[in-house]
Chains A and B, each alone.
Chain A
Amino acid sequence: MSLIIDSVSKRFGDVQALEEVSLEIKPGEVFGLLGANGAGKTTAMRIVLDILRPDSGTIAWNGRFNTDLPRETWGYLPEERGLYAKMNVLEQLVLFAKLHGVRGKVAEREARGWLERFRIPEYADRRAEQLSKGNQQKIQFIAAILHDPQVLLMDEPFTGLDPVNVALLKEAFLEIKERGKTLIFSTHQMETVEELCESIAIVDRGRVVVSGSVRDVRRSGGRQMVRLAVEGDPEMAWLAELDGVRVTRRGQDYTEMQVPSGHDPEVVLHAALERGLKVTHFEIADPSLEQIFIEHVGQIDTTERTLAPKVPA
């Protein structure tokens, strides 16, 4: 009983967009898909939604292949946002719900409820083109969830929203999760992932580099982080003598170092105390997702790798 993506591959011309991607996403989970631009996140979502067909591999939700599932199983917020510019907001929300089999009256009530919740009830009768980008994005989000889908896929849902609206959207996420729905979203904002997601997958160049619960992924590097601050010895040159310990960051507040798994991080504390130093800060932590991400993917890459067949500009 879960969403199972099984060895999915997809090639566009000479670009391998996805290569043997396998993932399992549990029902009721918030799942984050992390990757640089062009890593294959959008393609993966489109394949799950059966908008694109994979070259090989299958997608199944609760034991049924996605090709046999009704479309209303899914809710989708595409990365490229768009609405019918000349159509009024309520009308198009009702249209999208109707297309998913919701009755008009129910759709209208639900739509008004969500507009209320997003604090934009007065926009119901305006044309979409009269709304700001951020408000249009909220309308699109409502359009994606109005039919109460079992699985909600969102491509970069937080991009372009101000902090107030990000908070509103996060609230909505949690409510949908409480209704027992499954949420999958792609992002490259690590903080959001750490705040919301139970499980994640890091995707790079069409391959899943690492996946699992956030905790497992953070530990996947096979090491822990130690943050130490002592009085009177800012250099802490003696750290170099400790077996396996590698300093990653020196700061005014504390010095951060990596300790490989199999080594006890407390060795660092003992060594400091042995030298008669006064320890003001000692912390053992898992590496941040950002560190894991950079470790797997390399520097967050600014050059975009286009996945769609190349077209002359």
Chain B
Amino acid sequence: MKGWRTLFPNAWHIAVREYRARARTRSFVVGTGLLALVAFAATQLPVLIDYSITTSQTRIAVVVEAAGMPSDSLSVLDGQLNGPAGDPNTHKAFVLSWLPGGDVAATQKDLEKGKYDALLIVARDPATNDLGFTLRTDTPQDGPAVSSIVDALLSLEIDDRLFRAGTSTGALTAPFALTIGPTNAASAGTNSISHEVSTNLLSTGLIMLIFMAIITYGQWVAMSVAEEKGSRVMELMLNATTPLQMLAGKVIGNGAAGLTQYGIILAAVVGGLLAQGQIHKAVVGTSTGTPFGGMDPTVLAAFVVLFVLGFLMYSLLYAALGSLVSRQEDVQSAASPLTMLVMAGYFMSILGLQAIDDSWVKIASFVPFFSPYLMLARVSAGHVEMWEFGLSALVLLISVGVALFVAARIYSAGVLLYGQRVSLRQVFLAARVSR
């Protein structure tokens, strides 16, 4: 194959053409814009959630009929419902109207008018001298608001009983010595729930990025091959270039178009996360923690290596399968065996994330078709040796070479075969006789 020697500049010319042809389509422009918008919106989800929490408040009128309540009753109730006083970042979910000796009938009217969401009547049982409560509200009785109130009432009851026994909650809950720390200095910083969640989310996200890229942009490559064949422009191209140049150009051009789309979406995500604090402040009035907390540079480096190699291998094979059909409508079915493999790898990695130390995960992380996903899963879980990653990447690199050779063979034979459906046997026969 003389194409090996003269891959460039022709592969480059083809790549530029492919890139432009792809980036100019309406579906690319609209799709990229929409995805970027959705991605940006997704990053603002926490703001939205916080905002909806902020705007929801339960207003409670507390009519106190009971006599001899401890003087800190209101602050105990408020502290239980809204958290410790004095924290400006804490949102007040409950607004209390403390009405000692209040008029139940009048407050009931206010409740009915919607001035309050709940009416709480505090009375004292003459027999036991304990506090008794009546709560009237249309807030869901099995909802979080009511259960919070019930919890708070228990505290109020205990506070009252302690007061009557001559002591106070304050004395009982005075601070005591407590130290919590990691196993040792090395594991420091990894023992929070938020860290574990963000690591898991990140690796799931990165694996999904690889999956989406291969399945979407790989099919672009197959489509563009079938399109050339269908429009017969292939015959002009065949004299101008070699199959290898065409393959390389298509994979590079479509890959670059895909990366452009990814880049734009990623920029929207990063921009969204960076702006999240500001927007949160503007909308909710408080700021949030720093983004990218769980991001590990080794995971990102592994992602880039596996993404590039995995994409190259799969899209070369997609190109080969695309060359077997003459119409774009047939691309899906021709590519389905490969698409199955892509999906299989993805689902394996989802399962594998739950069982990262199982031997099947380890084995599959060296198998070319699955390693882009599973090795990434293992790397992000942090349970992998350097040599293991190196070996997996090397196997993948060799597979890219094999895929290039096989794809060039199938491609150079496939592009000259026209018909509804070309069998692999015909391709095999044709591949032996063409260059």
* Chain A interface residues (CB < 8 Å from chain B): 10, 12-13, 46, 49-53, 55, 67, 71, 74-76, 78, 80-87, 95-96, 98-100, 140, 143-144, 308-309, 311-313
Task: Please indicate which of the listed interface residues B13, B241, B420 has the most CB atoms of chain A within 10 Å of its own CB.
Answer: B13
B23 to chain A, nearest CB (A): 12
Task: Please indicate which of the listed interface residues B231, B242, B416 has the most CB atoms of chain A within 10 Å of its own CB.
Answer: B231
Q: Which of B37-45, B103-111, B196-204, B427-435 contacts A (4 or more CB under 8 A)?
A: B427-435
Is A87's CB under 8 angstroms from B17's CB? yes
B420 cross-chain contacts in A, Cβ below 8 A:
311-313
Task: Please indicate which of the listed interface residues B10, B228, B236, B242 has the most CB atoms of chain A within 10 Å of its own CB.
Answer: B236
Is B418's CB under 8 angstroms from A311's CB? yes
Q: Is B240 an interface residue (CB 8 A)?
A: yes
A175 to chain B, nearest CB (A): 21
B9 cross-chain contacts in A, Cβ below 8 A:
98
Q: A99 touches which one: B13, B24, B228, B235 (CB < 8 A)?
A: B13
Is B421's CB under 8 angstroms from A74's CB? no
Assess A67 versus B433: contact at CB under 8 Å? Given A51-B238, A82-B236, A95-B13. no
* Chain B interface residues (CB < 8 Å from chain A): 2, 9-10, 13-14, 17, 21, 24-25, 228, 231-242, 416-422, 426, 429-430, 433-435
Q: A85 touches which one: B17, B231, B240, B430 (CB < 8 A)?
A: B231
A96 cross-chain contacts in B, Cβ below 8 A:
236, 240
Assess A311 versus B232: contact at CB under 8 Å? Given A95-B17, A100-B240. no
**Closest chain B residue to A149 by CB distance?**
B239
B336 to chain A, nearest CB (A): 20
B172 to chain A, nearest CB (A): 79
The 7 closest A-B pairs by CB, nearest first: A311-B419, A82-B232, A78-B235, A82-B233, A76-B239, A99-B240, A80-B232
7 A-B pairs with CB atoms under 8 Å apart are A51-B435, A78-B232, A82-B231, A82-B235, A99-B10, A99-B237, A144-B239
B13 cross-chain contacts in A, Cβ below 8 A:
95, 98-99
B232 cross-chain contacts in A, Cβ below 8 A:
78, 80-82
Report the bound CA distance from A207 to B109 in whole Å: 107
A132 to chain B, nearest CB (A): 16
**Closest chain A residue to B423 by CB distance?**
A311
Is B231's CB under 8 angstroms from A83's CB? yes
Report the bound CA distance from A312 to B420 in whole Å: 7
B421 cross-chain contacts in A, Cβ below 8 A:
311-312
B237 cross-chain contacts in A, Cβ below 8 A:
99
Is B233's CB under 8 angstroms from A83's CB? yes
Q: A71-B242, A99-B240, A144-B236 are in contact. List 5 more A-B contacts (CB 8 A).
A: A46-B416, A95-B17, A309-B426, A311-B419, A313-B420
B234 cross-chain contacts in A, Cβ below 8 A:
82
A83 cross-chain contacts in B, Cβ below 8 A:
231, 233, 236
**Closest chain A residue to B239 by CB distance?**
A76
A75 cross-chain contacts in B, Cβ below 8 A:
239
Report the bound CA distance from A38 to B429 in whole Å: 20
B21 cross-chain contacts in A, Cβ below 8 A:
84, 86-87
Task: Please indicate which of the listed interface residues A13, A46, A84, A312 has the most CB atoms of chain B within 10 Å of its own CB.
Answer: A84
Report the bound CA distance from A78 to B231 in whole Å: 12
**Closest chain A residue to B16 by CB distance?**
A95
Is B236's CB under 8 angstroms from A308's CB? no
A38 to chain B, nearest CB (A): 14
Is B236's CB under 8 angstroms from A309's CB? no
**Closest chain B residue to A55 by CB distance?**
B433
Is B240's CB under 8 angstroms from A71's CB? yes
A13 cross-chain contacts in B, Cβ below 8 A:
429
Assess A52 versus B433: contact at CB under 8 Å? Given A74-B239, A99-B241, A311-B426. yes
Report the bound CA distance from A99 to B236 in whole Å: 11
Is B417's CB under 8 angstroms from A309's CB? yes
Report the bound CA distance from A313 to B326 in whole Å: 13
**Closest chain A residue to B435 by CB distance?**
A53
